[in-house]
Amino acid sequence: MSERPTPDELAEAIEEFLSGEILPGLDDHRQRFRTLVALNALGIIRRELTKLPRSDDAEQRKLAARIRADDVPTGTLARVKADVAERLQIDSPRYLDRY
């Protein structure tokens, strides 16, 4: 149950946009330099992302099956709700404000 786009895919899309569409049209040296700095920062971010542990899709599928079967250890649903809230803080913080 991988979430798409992944952070790496988002960073890659931004890199492609900056290097393929923005950078070639920049005549101002300052803007060109700052765009190159941003591209370098994105490269650093992408390398850091490779160091993060990957989510275990198999474990998530097992947990989903247990939840559907109503076979959930005490405290598990609270932890799942907390995980969802953490993800929403990143992906869509305004959603949490509404609910």
pLDDT in tens, 54-67: 776 788 888 889 88
Once rounded to an integer, what is the mean pLDDT over residues 60-83?
A: 87
Q: Which two tokens stand for residue 56?
A: 């275990």
* Cα distance from N-terminal residue to C-terminal residue, the chain: 24
Instruction: Write the pLDDT tens digit of every residue in 5-57.
Output: 888 899 999 999 999 999 999 999 999 999 999 999 999 999 988 887 777 67
pLDDT in tens, 40-50: 999 999 998 88
Say what the alpha-carbon torsion angle 50, 53, 58, 64 is, to the nearest 10 degrees. Answer: -120
Whether the pLDDT of residue 89 is over 60: the answer is yes
pLDDT at residue 85, as a whole number: 87
